Amino acid sequence: MRCPYCGSFDDKVLESRTMANGETIRRRRECISCEYRFTSYERIEEKTFMVIKRDGRREPFDRAKLSKGIERALEKRPVSLDSIENILNDIEDQAIMKGRGNREIATSDLGDLVLEKLHDIDKVAYIRFASVYRHFENLEEFIDEVKKLEGK
C-alpha cells in the first residue's frame, strides 16, 4: 500500500478490524519510512446485480428506483417509513435469491415481487402500482384488477 504522505510502499499493519457485517475490513497502517499512520479498507468486489428490462437491455439494479416506485404507490397511505424500508429490504433479498445463479432478474419478476408485498401491506398501493406496472390502458382493466383483488 502506498503511503499517502510520502509515497513509500513500505508499511506495516497495526490493527485489522471487520466492519459492515463482515463485508469490509478496516486496516490501520503505519508507513515504515515516515511513520505516518493511515487507514485502508478492503471489500469484496462482486459482479453487479443486473435487471433485464422488457426490451432486453440490462442495467444495474437500482434500489433508489425501486424505492421511488414503492414510495409513490404508498404515498398518503398509513404505512410507516420503517415498513417501507422493510419492504425494500425483503424485495431486494428475494430478488438477489431469485437471480443468484447469473446475478440478474427480469423486471417482470421484480415487479411481481413488489406486487406480492404491496398486496399484503396495502390494497390501494397494490392497485396504484399494478396500474403503472401492468400498463392499464382503460377503465375495464383497472376494474378487472380491483375485482381480482376482491376475490382473493
Do 35 and 109 lie in one domain? The reply is no
Say what the pLDDT of residue 152 is: 56
Q: Alpha-carbon dihedral of residues 57, 63, 64, 67, nearest 10 degrees?
A: 110
Examine residue 138 and state whether it is found in any structural domain, yes or no. Answer: yes
Residues 64, 91, single domain; the answer is yes
Per the listing, cell 401491506 goes with 121
Rg of the chain over Cα atoms, rounded to whole angstroms, equals: 23
What tens digit of pLDDT does each residue of 60-86 get?
A: 988 898 889 888 888 888 888 888 888
Structural domain count of the chain: 2
Q: Which helix (H) or strand (E) holds 43?
A: strand 37-43
Phi, psi at 133, each rounded to 5°: -65, -40
Same domain? For 73 and 130 the reply is: yes
Give the per-residue pLDDT at 12.
96
38 and 60 fall within a common domain: no
* Of residues 137, 135, 89, the one with CA closest to residue 113: 89
* pTM over cut 0.85: no
Q: Is the dihedral of CA 151, 95, 20, 38 positive or negative?
A: negative
Per-residue model confidence as pLDDT tens digits over 3-48: 999 999 999 999 999 886 777 899 999 999 999 999 999 887 677 8
Do 62 and 78 sit in the same domain of this protein? yes
Which set of grid coordinates corresponds to residue 36?
505516518
Same domain, 120 and 91: yes
Do residues 105 and 94 lie in contact, with contact meaning Cβ atoms separated by under 8 Å? no
Instruction: Tell me whether residue 3 is in a domain.
Output: no
Please give the residue range of the domain that contains residue 34: 11-43
For residues 38 and 112, membership in a common domain is answered with no
Residue 73 sits in the same domain as residue 107: yes
* Shared domain check, 55 and 124: yes
Mean per-residue pLDDT, 130-143: 72
**Same domain, residue pair 75 and 139:** yes
